[in-house]
Chains A and B, each alone.
Chain A
Amino acid sequence: MIKAVIIDDDQHSIETLKWKLENYCGNVDVVAAFDNSSEGIKYLKSHSADILFLDIEMPMLNGFDVLEELGRDLPFDIIFTTAYDNFGIQAVKFSALDYLLKPVQNKDLKEAIDKHLKKAGQKAPAAQIDALLNNVQAERKGRPGKIALASKESIEFVEPGEIIVCESNSNYTTIYLSDGRKKVISKTLKDFEEMLSPFRFFRTHNSHLVNLDHVREFIRGDGGYLVMENKMKVPVSKNKKEKLLEMLS
């Protein structure tokens, strides 16, 4: 059985999540739930758990404060919950940590648990938590923060400015970095588009997302194509051309 702990200031959220975990994911046991974050911290310091479901927006100590209190080397996996993806969720996405939107969809919940099982019950890597907390600080100061590129072998943290092009490969995305390396990440291009569009990234084509700050040249044509600083040629679809030129000028 997977031992789960829930911290959420809203009793109703705790109840629904607990019920859904017990009814849809048979192998999960909610061992404790807290609507007060400090009590949750106290519990986690003296008890073991496999997954922590942590609400982001809470009074007193919010989700990120809880992590600060618990230290970065957590002995359990972590899944954030939030009612709405505004503040903080960007930092969570950047850090490649998992999150669920409330009211929690059964499908999403099952996927999250499956993912946890695939990691063979691993805890959340300290580097990711570290990146998350740095990203929260960065977001508050209006800086971009670092995005986690997690592949099978490693997790690398890069600034959005270091990415030149993201290329779609069905469920994978190839990231071309400014130092010439490329990484294949098991996330869709849509995921990257959502994360990177606030940082002057533009989807020029179904299969390409480019960093506009790394564009060297636009070659006119039917839709035309872009030549990037790394000499890569990126196609531009006809209906994106106008918007692209507007954003480039």
Chain B
Amino acid sequence: MGARNGIVLGNPHELRRNSELPRPYLTNVMVRQQPYHGGVPVFGESPLKLKYWQNFFSFSFSAQSYSLGKKTKFRYRLEGFDDWQETTDHYFANYTNVPGGNYVFQLQAANNEGIWNEEILSVPVSITTAWWTTTWFYALLGMAVLVTSWWLYKRRIRQIRQQEQVRSEFEKKLANVEMSALRAQMNPHFLFNSLNSIDSYIIRNESKKASEYLNNFARLIRLILQNSRSNYISLKDELETLELYLQMESLRFKGRFEYEINVPEGLDTSSIDIPPMLIQTYVENAIWHGLMHQQRVSGGKVKVSIQEKDGMLLCIVEDNGIGRKKAMELKAKKSGISRRSMGMTITQDRMEIINKLYDTQTAVEITDLEDESGNAAGTRVVLTIPV
């Protein structure tokens, strides 16, 4: 090789490679931007012990070498977390969000010729696990979630069942009430007594009366069957049923009571709908409790009046009987047959259901009537039906 003043001779075989290998060491360890409390394990002499919340850390490093310069190459890894990273331009390793566990930080350096120092710097790193990230915690949590959702599911089912039960109970009650309305109307006593009356007309050869009575009876039964099928009927039908019923009962009791049905003129009874069989229970009650308990053999009176007022239909059933107080007394004292009051309970139940079903306010008001000297003079029942 020529030089300024001569030549330089060299034997290529005698050229030595750079046999000096840099030895890496740590210059600093930072945990969450703070110097590591346990000091810097410069050559990896002590492990790094971190808590789960300290899992942001970095290592700064360098290497010892006499012929180092800028040519030194490093590679590092956190065994169990990442793979080898080579670097020549920055002398630090940054780790963020490392999950709990045991790792080993390894650092290796190479000289300018790219020969790696076999001696690797190793620093064990252990990071504790947060209790809520442990397996058993997850298992427990999973179980809790399962149990909770099962419970919620069960509760929902129970809720739905309950609702259904309430609904079906309501429907059952409704059906029952409808049935009992029918039964109250088709009062077997009334049925058989009517047949008995017809029997008596036949026996006495009063064929015209027998036929009339039978026709009324048939018409009444037809109306009752028809009425009991619907939730609403026209006032006209209800009044016809009532009239037939009163007519037959007064015939049977041979003038022991009279009746009267007053409907204001011009009231279109066929266009007004009311729940069926409400009025009759009160009329039946008036006859049985009010009138029949009287000693006198005639002069009893039942008056049914219909009025319309402020969108309300008023049905007034009035009798001049012994009054509620006396009737109650008699019932308490004597072995009164309880069937009659059952009719009233049925009506009360039906009224509640009708109010619930149609969100209306059908109301009943019962007043005890008195004469001038304060004696009981009968009972007045006022039914208020929204129309």
Residues in A lying within 8 Å of B, measured CB to CB: 9-13, 15-16, 19-20, 36, 38, 56-57, 59-62, 64-65, 68, 83-84, 86-88, 101-103, 136-137, 140
Complex contacts, A84 vs chain B, CB 8 Å: 188-189, 191-192
Which chain A residue shows the least CB distance to B292? A59
Q: Evaluate contact between A102 and B193: CB separation under 8 angstroms.
A: yes
Q: Provided the pairs A57-B337, A60-B330, A62-B336 are in contact, do residues A12 and B192 lie with their beta carbons within 8 angstroms?
A: no
The size bracket of the interface on B is 20 to 34
Most buried by B among A11, A59, A137: A59
Tell whether, in the assembled complex, residue B293 and residue A101 are in contact, meaning their CB atoms are under 8 Å apart: no
Bound: A59/B295 CA distance, A: 10
Q: Which of B330-362 contact A (CB under 8 A)?
A: 330, 334-339
Q: With A57-B189, A60-B293 given, is the CB distance from A11 to B196 under 8 Å? A: no
Q: Does B203 sit within 8 A of A, measured CB to CB?
A: yes
Q: How far is the CA of A101 from the CA of B196 in the complex (A)?
A: 10
Whether, in the assembled complex, B106 has its beta carbon less than 8 Å from a beta carbon of chain A, the answer is no
Asked if A140 and B335 sit within 8 Å, CB to CB, the answer is yes
Shortest C-beta distance, A53 to chain B (Å), equals 13
Chain B residue with Cβ nearest A88: B337
B200 within 8 A of A: yes
Determine whether B54 belongs to the interface, using a CB cutoff of 8 Å to chain A. Answer: no
CB distance from B216 to the nearest CB of A (A): 14
18 new A-B contacts, CB < 8 A, other than A38-B295, A88-B337, are: A10-B193, A11-B200, A11-B252, A12-B201, A13-B196, A16-B203, A19-B200, A19-B203, A20-B203, A56-B337, A60-B292, A65-B334, A83-B191, A83-B196, A84-B191, A103-B195, A103-B199, A140-B335
A13-B201 Cα distance, complex, nearest whole Å: 11
- Assuming the A-B contacts A9-B292, A61-B334, A87-B337, are A102 and B196 also in contact, with contact meaning beta carbons closer than 8 angstroms in the complex? yes
A189 vs B197: C-alpha distance when bound (angstroms): 34
List chain B residues, Cβ under 8 A from A38. 295
Where chain B touches its partner, the secondary structure class is: helix
Residue from B203, B204, B254, B335 within 8 A of A62 (CB atoms): B335
Could you list some 7 contacts between A and B, CB below 8 A? A16-B203, A20-B203, A65-B334, A83-B191, A83-B192, A87-B338, A102-B196
B201 nearest CB across to chain A (Å): 8
B95 at the interface (CB under 8 A from A): no
Q: Which residues of B contact A59 (CB under 8 A)?
A: 288, 292-293
Q: Known contacts A10-B253, A15-B204, A60-B292: does B199 contact A140 (CB below 8 Å)?
A: no
Max chain A C-beta neighbours (<10 A), residue from B191, B196, B288: B196
How long is the Cα–Cα vector from A13 to B200 in the complex, in angstroms?
7
Chain A nearest CB from B352 CB (Å) reads: 25
CA A87 – CA B188 in complex, angstroms? 12
Please judge, given known A-B contacts A12-B196, A62-B337, A88-B337, whether A83 and B292 are in contact too, CB under 8 Å: no
User: Separation in Å of the A102 CB from the closest CB of chain B?
Assistant: 5
Q: Which residues of B contact A20 (CB under 8 A)?
A: 203
Interface centre among A9, A20, A103 (most CB of B within 10 A): A103
State how many angstroms separate the Cβ of B320 from the closest Cβ of chain A: 15
In chain B, positions 271-312 with a C-beta closer than 8 Å to chain A are: 288, 292-293, 295, 297
> Cα distance A13–B254 when bound, in Å?
12
Interface 0/1 of B133-163, CB less than 8 Å to A: 0000000000000000000000000000000
